[in-house]
């Protein structure tokens, strides 16, 4: 059956021209994948719906490979928020164009749009910056910190405290990537984010305060250290000063790891391969059968007969027990049994007053006498008092 023309839908995928960006090595690179930019690239969809709020997700990968480069990360919190590519390129990527394929998926119409992002990494003026500090901010998520306004406010606060001539954000890492736990969805808790910045002048006295013995002792006792410049961050950024890291790369001792020389990748010559002979010797499995099944079965059968003989054939019985018991003990036991039976018969025949719960009850309405609960031949020995 042919469908009407208006019900025929074609899922299209559009590919657009490459987009070039030029980040610097050793400096934080942030590229926002805006949903508004891709909405106009999807073809019109004939079904009803609000196209301005379509859920859109992104997939990013290095061209020709299933994943992104190691230095580049991607995050998108929900299908209704923008995606962000971020990372810190290293010196080994300078001069090597990195082509990232970006595919946008419209989750309502199932359409796709694709374009390439060409990352041309260039050398920085001073790479790397000699003094690097890493801050842990507790009240931020990574996508919030990557916003240009928030990151600019943080760098401004650091510059006010540090007073460098050059200050760059080097890298941003989510606390979850450092082994942190996912926060509970209460009290507006955040994941936390590590922000590394670099400068060209030594660390200020305020940043050095965390290294004092008094503050180190407070950190070991899980107490907040006393930092004089914390008030310059506190209005917007809650910094865990116990987790701050100050690194002077001029004093870092380089570690050289000796690597073995790579080979040619060709296996050495071992001669001609000789497969095993087709005439294999026959093998007798009777001994294996005896060891595996026959011997354990025989041992289990012997143990079964011993157990059966002990339980069934060596029972003493009442007669043998009486023969081995002294007469005086048997007479004593028999007298106890007779006395017990006599006391029980006497207790049944004794006359005692019946409890009130067993006496006849007079019904004031009908005038009848209700019979007792128990009959006359009820055993009085078990009667409650």
Using one digit for the tens of pLDDT, what is the confidence trace for 315-371?
666 777 777 778 888 788 888 988 888 888 887 776 655 555 555 555 555 656 555
Task: Judge residue 300's burial from the number of C-beta atoms within 10 Å of its C-beta, 0-12 exposed, 13-18 middle, 19 or more buried.
Answer: exposed
Which of 67, 66, 84 lies closest to 28, judged by CA? 84
CA 85 to chain centroid, in Å, comes to: 25
- The lowest-confidence range among 46-60, 133-147, 212-226, 248-262 is 248-262
For 283-298, what is each residue's pLDDT tens digit? Answer: 788 888 888 888 899 9
d(CA 286, CA 284): 6
Task: Give the number of other CB atoms < 10 A from CB of residue 180.
Answer: 14
Tell me: pLDDT of 25 over 60.
yes
Which of 316, 314, 315 lies closest to 324, judged by CA? 316
According to the model, what pLDDT value does residue 377 have? Answer: 53
Cis bond upstream, residue 128 (ω within 30): yes
Tell me: pLDDT of 270 over 90.
no
d(CA 200, CA 197): 11
d(CA 99, CA 114): 13
The CA-based dihedral angle spanning residues 183, 185, 188, 191, taken in that order and rounded to the nearest 10 degrees = 20
Averaged confidence pLDDT in the chain? 80
- Give percent of the chain with pLDDT exceeding 70: 79
d(CA 353, CA 346): 16
- The lowest-confidence range among 52-61, 88-97, 316-325 is 316-325
According to the model, what pLDDT value does residue 14 have? Answer: 43
Tell me: pLDDT of 8 over 80.
no
Beta bridge partners of 112: 13, 105
Tell me: pLDDT of 101 over 90.
yes
According to the model, what pLDDT value does residue 257 have? Answer: 60
> What are 125's two structure tokens?
């003026």
Strand ranges (E), 227-360 = 245-248
d(CA 357, CA 373): 7
According to the model, what pLDDT value does residue 47 have? Answer: 62
According to the model, what pLDDT value does residue 197 have? Answer: 93
Give buried/exposed letters for 11-33 (b at 16+ CB in 10 A, else e).
eeeeeeeeeeeebbbbbbbbbeb
In the predicted model, what is the mean pLDDT of residues 147-172?
91
Tell me: pLDDT of 381 over 60.
no
Report domain extents, the chain.
19-121, 131-251
Strands 112-119 and 19-21: parallel
According to the model, what pLDDT value does residue 281 have? Answer: 76
The residue count for the chain: 385
d(CA 203, CA 208): 7
In three-state form (DSSP H/G/I as H, E/B as E, the rest C), the secondary structure along 122-142 is ECCCCCCCCEEEEEEECCCCH
pTM above 0.75, yes or no: no
How many helices and strands, by DSSP H and E, does the chain display?
Answer: 10, 14
Calculate the alpha carbon distances from 243 to 194, 224, 246, 268, 350 in Å. 9, 11, 10, 52, 91
Instruction: Assess if CATH 3.10.520.10 describes domain 19-121.
Output: no
Tell me: pLDDT of 383 over 60.
no
224 phi and psi angles, rounded to 5 deg: -70, 130
According to the model, what pLDDT value does residue 49 have? Answer: 58
């Amino acid at each position: 059956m042919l469908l009407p023309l208006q019900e025929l839908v074609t899922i299209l995928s559009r590919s657009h021209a490459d987009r070039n960006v030029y980040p610097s090595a050793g400096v934080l690179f942030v590229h926002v994948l805006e949903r508004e930019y891709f909405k106009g690239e999807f073809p019109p969809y004939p079904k009803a719906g609000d196209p301005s709020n379509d859920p859109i997700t992104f997939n990013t990968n290095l061209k020709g490979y299933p994943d992104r480069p190691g230095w580049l990360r991607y995050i998108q919190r929900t299908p209704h928020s923008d995606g962000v590519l971020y990372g810190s390129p290293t010196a080994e990527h300078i001069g090597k164009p990195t082509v990232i394929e970006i595919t946008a998926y419209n989750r309502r119409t199932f359409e796709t749009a694709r374009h390439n992002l060409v990352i041309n990494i260039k050398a920085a003026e001073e790479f790397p910056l000699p003094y690097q500090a890493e801050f842990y901010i507790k009240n931020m998520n990574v996508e919030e910190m990557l916003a240009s306004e928030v990151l600019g406010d943080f760098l401004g606060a650091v510059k006010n405290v540090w007073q460098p001539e050059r200050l760059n954000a080097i890298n941003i890492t989510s606390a979850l990537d450092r082994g942190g736990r996912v926060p509970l969805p209460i009290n507006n808790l955040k994941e936390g984010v590590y922000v590394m910045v670099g400068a060209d002048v030594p660390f200020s006295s305020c940043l050095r305060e965390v290294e004092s013995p008094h503050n180190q002792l407070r950190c070991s006792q899980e107490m907040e250290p006393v930092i004089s410049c914390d008030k310059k961050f506190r209005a917007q950024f809650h910094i865990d000063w116990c987790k701050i890291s100050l690194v002077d790369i001029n004093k870092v001792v380089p570690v050289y790891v000796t690597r073995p020389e790579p080979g040619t990748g060709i296996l050495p010559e071992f001669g001609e391969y000789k497969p095993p002979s087709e005439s294999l010797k026959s093998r007798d499995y009777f001994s294996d059968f005896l060891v595996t099944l026959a011997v354990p079965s025989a041992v289990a059968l012997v143990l079964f007969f011993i157990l059966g003989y002990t339980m069934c054939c060596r029972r003493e019985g009442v007669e043998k027990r009486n023969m081995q018991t002294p007469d005086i003990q048997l007479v004593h036991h028999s007298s106890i049994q007779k006395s017990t039976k006599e006391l029980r018969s006497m207790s049944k025949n004794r006359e005692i007053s019946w409890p009130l719960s067993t006496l006849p009850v007079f019904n004031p309405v009908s005038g009848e006498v209700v019979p007792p609960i128990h009959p006359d031949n009820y055993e009085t020995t078990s009667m409650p008092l």
